[in-house]
Structure 1
Amino acid sequence: MTQLAQMQCEPCKAGGPQMSESEIRDLITELPDWNVDTVDGEQCLSRTVKFKDFAGALAFTQQVGELAEKANHHPVLTTEWGKVTVYWWTHKTGGLHRNDFVMAAKTDRLLE
């Protein structure tokens, strides 16, 4: 994870190539708390993080939002009482890109 968390997002082009299944399998091993899911037919990374209360969940949501703004790469965030679910995928490619793994690793860093 350390290596991914230190990387920066690279610009993506619309319709660019998606990651292969073997690339995804290799990188997901570095993110043990994340899942590869499919939402509306597109692969994404997802993780649900639990908190003691709504305030903790809301503070984490804000941190992820600030991280996303800096990288210009934005997730879907679902904030509920005591938990936040984060979904990363690259809309321009219609699936997963290395950037999503980078941002997932950076998200994990927020929890350290």
Structure 2
Amino acid sequence: MSNPLLTDDEIATALKDLPEWTRTGASIARTVEAPSFLAGIELVRRVAAEAEAANHHPDMDIRWRRVTFTLSTHSEGGLTRLDVALAREIDRLAQES
């Protein structure tokens, strides 16, 4: 199933509701600082479970308590609604951690 790329205006509108996320070219990213290393690992595990269920997988970089999530729909070559939906889910999970 194809997921059309979002326009620049659609991305800008979506990012208004995702203030922790920053766009760089064809991706958006957010860094979360967890209260502990194990809390960061647990956040990664929870995001991984949600990503697997959505069949949409972020790049994740773990540096002690700091976890950076980078989203892009590689098959489409840019940002789609899948990225926005996963960013919202990551925000929800990060708030719970």
Matched AA of 2:11: I
Flag the structure with higher helix content: 2
Q: How many residues align?
A: 95
Q: TM-score, normalised on structure 1?
A: 0.79
User: Tell me, what secondary structure is at the counterpart of 1:111?
Assistant: helix
Work out whether residues 32 and 94 of structure 2, in 8 Å CA contact, stay in contact via their aligned partners in 1.
Answer: no
Q: CA deviation at 1:96?
A: 0.3
The answer to whether structure 1 residue 47 and structure 2 residue 30 are counterparts is yes
Matched AA of 1:28: L
User: Tell me, what secondary structure is at the counterpart of 1:12?
Assistant: coil
RMSD: 1.3
User: Tell me, what secondary structure is at the counterpart of 2:73?
Assistant: coil
Q: CA deviation at 1:99?
A: 1.0
Q: TM-score, normalised on structure 2?
A: 0.90
Deviations 1:27-83 (A, max 9, x none): 111111111113xxxx11100000232111111111110010010000000011011
Unaligned runs of 5+ in 2: none
Work out whether residues 46 and 87 of structure 1, in 8 Å CA contact, stay in contact via their aligned partners in 2.
Answer: yes
Work out whether residues 37 and 44 of structure 1, in 8 Å CA contact, stay in contact via their aligned partners in 2.
Answer: yes
After TM superposition, the runs of 4+ consecutive aligned structure 1 residues lying more than 2 A away are none
Unaligned runs of 5+ in 1: 1-10
